[in-house]
Structure 1
């Protein structure tokens, strides 16, 4: 086994799926008695997490250590990773296709394009490749990668156990049907498609309803502004733009939700689906990217639904007791599968192959 196993990330922030995964892995490594640190570009670290990570330039590698890079965008972490003399693992979380950001943030679009282009150079220089889904693994294989191991994001549920927030419960105390979306407010999530479906739902099916959008707008401010403008232009009431939510408050939104919906067109895995299922919130999701792997046979997935069709589907999940019960039962089976997974044994096997 290695004398130390470190990780490198482009950023480090509360509520971020990659950050959470890196923290989980570090905890496992330390439980094995192996020294482990997380190295990050400190320009992109939440203030509250600064004590938990170290600057990239402090990393010192050697052949007796392993370095895991969580790859999702181009950053100084990539070059620091490649320079290291440690054994290297590329842990691929997916790079969002640049065309989604074109016109909203051309700088981010270029960074995404560069990150995808750089993969062909990174792949031959690593000792192993892991991906959080088979969908992601297939992307690496299309670039010539061989023997990509699939190691899905871990989920225990313990991180979602904070008590309800009285402030949030009070804010949404008026009884209404709550349609919830959780995720970064970025173009590939196609939040506008969900808003159009909600518009149909609210105007023609259920006026006592809300669309609650939870997620940071920092990655694509121009896209967020467009969504706010569309809500006004379409005269859609009760669209609640909650923006970034403290991770301790997030469980409250799941507790008040009647249905979780996402119209996302591109996902490497989509952790919020797992979070919603853990609270028995029925999930309705566009069949895209790694979403089918996250859901398994649970929830409801759709393809090519019009706004009106998606609105009717949401209504059925909310009002049809038989269907709702079937969906929740399928999700409980999926959560039992996730709970029964021995991720630590999987991880040990992957690491031991490199030792």
Structure 2
């Protein structure tokens, strides 16, 4: 019996790719014969991390296929042709409307992904969602098979690596650093973070900066609009890092005083868990999967009111008792994402699939 993971693109450093590789390691540790197959494999990954999809050999009835679904791709329609038990691992697909004004290809890819999800619902023997919100998505798409919720397997050991010294020297001062990490894309609503920062900097604390970490490749028009918005507001101390190296990302987490998320659509939101790991208090808008990922910790905002967001950031940073309570609850929630705990849950799911339960 083999267990193969398949996905359209195995990228370097993204949440889906990291999860796929971590699950492979867990299967190998448990003694399973396993491999990753992808249509596109990032050249920055170590040799032997995965194999091209067209190298996949015929699968037997007792083999298990884990297909990572997160976008539209022709590979979505190849899975039903394969043998073995078919498991769909769903990482969420962003609704197409967020990209319509900015990137037609991205919008089309999202639409095609949702269309494929509805087709895959008919052939799935089992499904895994990486949040309760994503499980609800699958049910809406027509999945009637058993669905388990399994958090993303996050490589916390990587976060112990040395942060970029240059970044630390540049921004380690008496300014409050408000951080958000994530691709600069419309669903993440960076404009709402900028608006909240405008109020915070102008009416609460002028000695503050906003750091927006994330690539804007492919959605340049949205990034340009955000830059224009910053200029229109007359704001200073707003930093768009673009795509940066991992040690630089680590440095910004070390520098952060608070993590502010105003995103409108998230399937999981790994940066929230990363902030918990770095003991950074999280203030986030209560949308999509955010509340599930926070798990009763951090601070949830009921809407996108920028004044409320700014005032809450200020309260978290000035009320030491509240801040310590938030951090304590975040440390408790962080335990649910412990590598060994998630690996155990994953292997229990695999055993259930093998046993046909």
TM range (shorter): over 0.9
* In structure 2, C-alpha distance between the alignment counterparts of 1:338 and 1:39, rounded to whole Å: 26
Do the aligned partners of residues 316 and 282 (structure 1) sit closer, same or farther apart at CA in structure 2, a change above 3 Å counting? Answer: same
- Listed as ranges, the gaps of 5+ residues in structure 2 are none
* In structure 2, C-alpha distance between the alignment counterparts of 1:335 and 1:343, rounded to whole Å: 12
CA RMSD of superposed structures (Å): 1.7
What does residue 224 of structure 2 align with?
225
* In structure 2, C-alpha distance between the alignment counterparts of 1:137 and 1:87, rounded to whole Å: 20
In the TM superposition, what is the alpha-carbon distance from 1:41 to its structure 2 partner? 2.2
In the TM superposition, what is the alpha-carbon distance from 1:246 to its structure 2 partner? 2.1
* In structure 2, C-alpha distance between the alignment counterparts of 1:46 and 1:247, rounded to whole Å: 16
Do the aligned partners of residues 135 and 309 (structure 1) sit closer, same or farther apart at CA in structure 2, a change above 3 Å counting? Answer: same
Partner SS, residue 133 of structure 2: helix
The correspondence of residues 341-352 of structure 1 with structure 2, limited to 5 A, is 342-352=341-351
Partner SS, residue 11 of structure 1: strand
What does residue 38 of structure 1 align with?
36
* Alignment check: 8 A CA contact 2:76 2:116 kept: no
The correspondence of residues 51-200 of structure 1 with structure 2, limited to 5 A, is 51=47, 52-63=49-60, 64-146=62-144, 147-155=146-154, 157-200=156-199
* In structure 2, C-alpha distance between the alignment counterparts of 1:40 and 1:190, rounded to whole Å: 31
Return the match for 1:48 from 11, 19, 44.
44
In the TM superposition, what is the alpha-carbon distance from 1:65 to its structure 2 partner? 2.0
Aligned length: 351
Could you state the TM-score of these two structures normalised by the residue count of structure 2? 0.94
* In structure 1, C-alpha distance between the alignment counterparts of 2:43 and 2:218, rounded to whole Å: 17
* Alignment check: 8 A CA contact 1:184 1:219 kept: no
In the TM superposition, what is the alpha-carbon distance from 1:21 to its structure 2 partner? 0.6
Partner SS, residue 62 of structure 1: coil
* In structure 2, C-alpha distance between the alignment counterparts of 1:156 and 1:252, rounded to whole Å: 17
Partner SS, residue 70 of structure 1: strand
Partner SS, residue 60 of structure 1: coil
- Listed as ranges, the gaps of 5+ residues in structure 1 are none
* In structure 2, C-alpha distance between the alignment counterparts of 1:159 and 1:171, rounded to whole Å: 23
Return the match for 1:6 from 4, 7, 18.
4
